[in-house]
Amino acid sequence: MRKRLANALPARRAAPRSATSVGIGLTLVAIGLFTTMDTIGKTLMADYPFQQVVWARYFFQCTLMLVMLPHLGIAGLLRTRRHALQIGRGLLLAVATLCMFGAISVVPLADAYTITFTAPLLVTALSVPLLKERVGWRRWSAVLVGFIGVLIVIRPGFGDAPWQLMLPLVTAACFALYQILTRLVSIDPDETPFVMLFYVAWVGAAVMTLMVPFYWQPVALADWPWMVAMGGLGAIGHLILIRALVIAPASLIAPFTYSQIVWALIAGYLVFGDVPDGWMLVGCTVIVASGLFVFYREAVLGKR
């Protein structure tokens, strides 16, 4: 990956503003594709168990990656020196996806996404014991404020918030650990992003293929294209995001992932008629603001 980054550096020096704009644009497109994938999944879960829908998402992503990247071959996509970490990443993301789909089968997309936005805060907290990084009081304060935002959204003991709102917290925790393992893997310059992405796809497909027979329901012929589309959107979205990270700094792109809440509000309203309540919007604002502050502090420390 470092070789790819090195090759991209001259173009970025020649036209940094253009590269930055393209990187941000690609990130927004990728996030939109992910939200579309989840919207299709939520629609399918009206007729099928969420485990079966998650299987379709991983199985067809894995299959389509083999079709879209034929020049690498199966051997090239499996070539790694960090098998345990790669498989661990795949398992964590599979659990995160299961919990996320289990949540959005019941609760609005925007509510579930809002809680998963705590993942950057969890990465900050977990980087201390796992990566031996130093975290100052400012970022610890942001982590605390972010979890206050979660309590505002969930409102434990108040109202009629469904218990499924707790599942995105598991998603956020698994995704935070997934990001930390990804950092550990990416230290090795021989580990390519395509290999890292394929391990996530095939591990998820393998786990769900073992699980799905216990939940399988016959699929209507008209629904198969939608299941294939989920895998395609996942594969294309990840490849676009990889390209965005190649041409623009990750610290610049990361805050734009919060655009997912905008996509989710639009999709939730147009497709499912979901209207967010005031508490959700307040909690979302608190979580996003604390996450953006963490990104800002990391950027400041990176410059130092």
Most confident by average pLDDT, 39-53, 106-120, 123-137, 168-182: 39-53
Q: List the single range of 45-49, 147-151, 215-219, 265-269 with lowest mean pLDDT.
A: 147-151
Report the pLDDT value the prediction gives residue 147, as an integer from 0 to 100. Answer: 81
Mean pLDDT of the chain: 83
Please tell me the pTM assigned to this model: 0.81
Amino acid at 264: A
Structure tokens at 267: 């999709």
Where along the chain do its domains lie? 2-8+20-303
pLDDT at 14: 42
Q: What angle do CA 139, 140, 144 make, to 5 degrees?
A: 115
Q: Higher model confidence: residue 24 or residue 6?
A: 24
Residues whose CB is less than 8 angstroms from the CB of residue 266 and which lie 6 or more positions away in sequence, other chains included: none
Cβ atoms of residues 108 and 266 within 8 Å: no
CA distance 255 to 70: 33
How far is the C-alpha of 175 from the C-alpha of 118, rounded, in Å? 10
- Cα separation of the two ends of the chain: 24
Whether 249 has a pLDDT exceeding 80, the answer reads: no
Encode pLDDT of 47-85 as tens digits. Answer: 999 999 999 999 999 998 888 777 777 778 888 988 999
Tokens (6 digits) for 250: 């990750």
| Token pair 């989710």 in the structure block, residue | 264
pLDDT 10s digits, 173-203: 998 898 888 888 878 888 888 888 999 999 9
Q: In the block, which residue shows the tokens 């941000």? A: 24
Residue from 205, 255, 278, 194 nearest 27 by CA: 255
Question: Is residue 37 within 8 Å of 80, Cβ to Cβ?
Answer: no
